[in-house]
Amino acid sequence: MELLTSILDHINYIGAAALFVIGLYTVLTHSNLLKRIIGINIMETSIFLFFVSIGYVSQGQSPIIQLSETTAIYVNPVPSALILTGIVVAVSITAYALSLIIKLYKAYDTLDYFEIMEKSQEVSSND
Amino acid sequence: MIRMLPVFNLLVLLATAVLIPVFSKRVFTKIKQISTVAMIFATVSSVISLAYVVQIEGYSIVFGGYTSAIGIELTIDAFSALFAVFISALAFLIIVYSFADITHEIDEDQYGSYYTLVFILLFAMMGMTYTNDLFNMYVFMEILSLTSCAIISIKRKKANYLAALRYLVLNTIGSLSVLMGIALIYMVSGHLNMGQISLIIRDIWQLYPGNIVVALGFILTGLSIKAAVFPLHVWLPDAHSNAPTPSSALLSSIVVKVYVIATIKLLFKVVGADIVTSLQIPPVITIVAALGMIMGSIFAIGQKDIKRMLAYSSVAQIGYIFLGIGLMSEQGLSAALFHVISHGFMKSALFLSAGAIIYYKNRRNIKLFDGLGYQMPVTMIIFSFAALGMVGIPGFSGFMSKFYLLVAILEAGVPFYLGVILVSSYLNAVYYLPIIISAFLKEDKEGVRTMKVEKLPKSMLVPLIIIGVVIVSIGFYPQLIMQFIELAVATLIN
């Protein structure tokens, strides 16, 4: 029972760690370039989740100051604001990576990383 | 006014990046003028702000009228001002060199976008040196990694797309682990400002040692991917050898160093040397660095392509820098900082002279360098200066950095690393000296033995000669730079 409650209390950390590992596994093991980018996106999501959840205060309200309530508890808004920046960065990285993948697909006619490596080595040995 | 110069510095670099595409409509001379003016401003203002900071203690600029705990803060002290001078001066030389060389590397319609990317890159590097805020550092780091991938993929070749994608994927994993580490530090300290964190972490590190070790592990792993520390260097040879030569020089001599600067800031400014030492982190850094020093050199021996060889040699040299950092002492840190600067100049001299050889003779294979010393004497002499410096011959800047490192190692009482440095120096000699010997002592196939100065464009020769002079003068008068480094180290270890 104690274990169960401690798992429930830290479910955000466990979830973030699990997503991080799933994403990293996808990036490192899949040979399809698109899946690698998806893996990076999963990793990004895990960190965003983690960052936002550490700013949560239990029973806190959204941090909009109302003059009538003076004793209200607010959620920490800083992590959420930071993660907005993080999301923008993540989107631009994904866009750039996808554009590179399009170029690679046009050049090699495949999305498979190992096939691309083989073909590129053939090209360089012919030079 | 003089206090705000670093901010103007950042603004001018960013504004130049925006202005170039507006003005440039295929007029290359316009781009040249704008970028020269911007770089002169950046260099001069960094020098002025260094001269100013040396007199006073150092100060910080907070934006938006917030207190430093919640606002974004730039710290201008001897450390950041010194490296701003290093970045802007070296980048100035490389950019002047690139005006001629880039015409051989990329298509005409891309000049505008190339210089835009270079200036955003410089902006991000300057920002990372000045910033005193962890999240701000992360944002600059992302700008830096995107632009540095983009200046590799700007060359329209298959190999460049592949190298850029590999670099991008690994770089992103690196940035994400840095962000994870920042989240963990924020979790225990509640601050993102480096000064505030270091105050709080002093009180709480014994309460949450596991948390801080994991955070440091994430951040150090991320930064070592980006700085190409040995087992994580896999992206570097492809990326640096395929990029246009001026970009390779920028990436290898400055961009990688900025991540080293970030690591130093994290270890010494955010967490503090004593806490890092008591968490048992330094031995890991030194062992990994020593491995890199040996393995990087061994990989470099097998290379035929000159630029690939130089890229692997960077892996080994990064090992020297991290070894200095891992000693966690004043001497070790100053040796590391000295090597950051001296390796920056040596590696850019090597890359730029290799670029000049590719430009003039279109030779990349080191087997074809026979007799090149007679056809391109100036380039090859500069190349030899830098290569001898890398090996550690007295009189060149590389010798002094190895000397400082040796003193630091003896001081720290770990003589094992002395042997590592010796072996690594021998290995350096094994791959650099044959090039010099075959260039100056062997005959070309055409049998030309009359020395004739090569007809390179002046904008390529002058930066090369200046860098060569700098390498020799630092070699003879290391105090020129060491006096500033001592001040910089004093701001990090107190």
Give yes or no for A49 touching B (CB within 8 A).
no
Which among B146, B161, B179 is the nearest to A92, CB-wise? B146
CA distance B75 to B84: 12
- pLDDT at res. B209: 86
Amino acid type, B141: M
B376-404 confidence digits (pLDDT tens): 888 889 999 999 998 988 888 889 999 99
CA-angle at A101, arms to A95 and A103, nearest 5°: 110
Chain A, window 8-47: residues with a beta carbon less than 8 angstroms from a chain B beta carbon = 20, 24, 27, 33, 36-37, 40, 43-44, 47
- pLDDT at res. B96: 92
Summarize the confidence of residues B223-234 as an average pLDDT. Answer: 88
Select the more confidently predicted residue: B473 or A68. B473
Which H or E element spans position B264?
helix B256-264
- Burial of B442: CB neighbours in 10 Å, binned 0-12, 13-18, 19+: middle
For B371, phi then psi, to 5°, come to: 70, 10
* Strand-pair partners of B193: B133
Q: How confident is the model at residue A102 (pLDDT cuts 50, 70, 90)?
A: very high
Summarize the confidence of residues B266-287 as an average pLDDT. Answer: 89
Coil, helix or strand at residue B181: helix
Amino acid type, B359: Y
CA distance B87 to B257: 9
What CATH topology corresponds to A2-63+70-126?
Helix Hairpins (1.10.287)
A12 CA to chain B: closest CA distance, Å?
A: 13
CA distance A76 to B129: 29
Res. A127: pLDDT tops 60: no
Q: How confident is the model at residue B106 (pLDDT cuts 50, 70, 90)?
A: confident
CA-angle at B55, arms to B51 and B56, nearest 5°: 120
End-to-end CA distance of chain B: 29
The two structure tokens encoding residue B122? 């410089």
Judge if pTM exceeds 0.80.
yes
Q: How confident is the model at residue B349 (pLDDT cuts 50, 70, 90)?
A: very high
Which among A50, A93, A101 is the nearest to B172, CB-wise? A93
Give yes or no for A91 touching B (CB within 8 A).
no
Give yes or no for A52 touching B (CB within 8 A).
no
- pLDDT at res. B208: 87
CA distance A104 to A19: 28
The two structure tokens encoding residue B112? 């505008």
Q: Taking CB atoms and an 8 Å limit, are A96 and B149 in contact across chains?
A: yes
Residues from chain B that touch A43, judged by Cβ atoms under 8 A, are: 173, 176
The two structure tokens encoding residue B205? 């590190």
Tell me the domain boundaries of chain A.
2-63+70-126
Chain A, chain B: beta-carbon pairs less than 8 Å apart: 73
CA distance B383 to B488: 30
- Neighbouring CB atoms inside 10 A of B76's CB total 25
- pLDDT at res. B232: 86
Q: Please check whether residue B400 is in contact with residue B367, taking contact to mean a CB–CB distance below 8 angstroms.
A: no
ipTM: 0.92
A54-80 confidence digits (pLDDT tens): 888 888 777 777 777 666 788 888 888
The two structure tokens encoding residue B340? 């950051």
Summarize the confidence of residues A38-53 as an average pLDDT. Answer: 92
Q: How confident is the model at residue A117 (pLDDT cuts 50, 70, 90)?
A: confident
Distant-in-sequence, close-in-space partners of A50: CB < 8 Å, separation ≥ 6:
A12, A13, A16, B180, B183
CA distance A68 to B240: 60
B177 CA to chain A: closest CA distance, Å?
A: 9
Which H or E element spans position B74?
strand B73-76
Q: Taking CB atoms and an 8 Å limit, are B161 and A89 in contact across chains?
A: no
Q: Would you list the DSSP string of A23-58?
A: HHHHHHH--BHHHHHHHHHHHHHHHHHHHHHHT--T
B280: left (phi over 0), alpha (psi -120 to 50) or beta: left
Summarize the confidence of residues B477-492 as an average pLDDT. Answer: 90
Summarize the confidence of residues B192-199 as an average pLDDT. Answer: 89
Q: Taking CB atoms and an 8 Å limit, are A86 and B164 in contact across chains?
A: no
For A86, name the nearest residue in chain B, comparing CA atoms only: B139
CA distance A101 to B270: 38
CA distance B263 to B254: 14
Coil, helix or strand at residue B429: helix
Amino acid type, B120: I
Chain B, window 27-86: residues with a beta carbon less than 8 angstroms from a chain A beta carbon = 70
- Burial of B55: CB neighbours in 10 Å, binned 0-12, 13-18, 19+: exposed
Q: Taking CB atoms and an 8 Å limit, are B176 and A36 in contact across chains?
A: no
Interface test with B, best of A46, A51, A119 (most B CBs within 10 A): A51
A89 CA to chain B: closest CA distance, Å?
A: 7
Residues from chain B that touch A89, judged by Cβ atoms under 8 A, are: 139, 142
Q: Taking CB atoms and an 8 Å limit, are A89 and B164 in contact across chains?
A: no
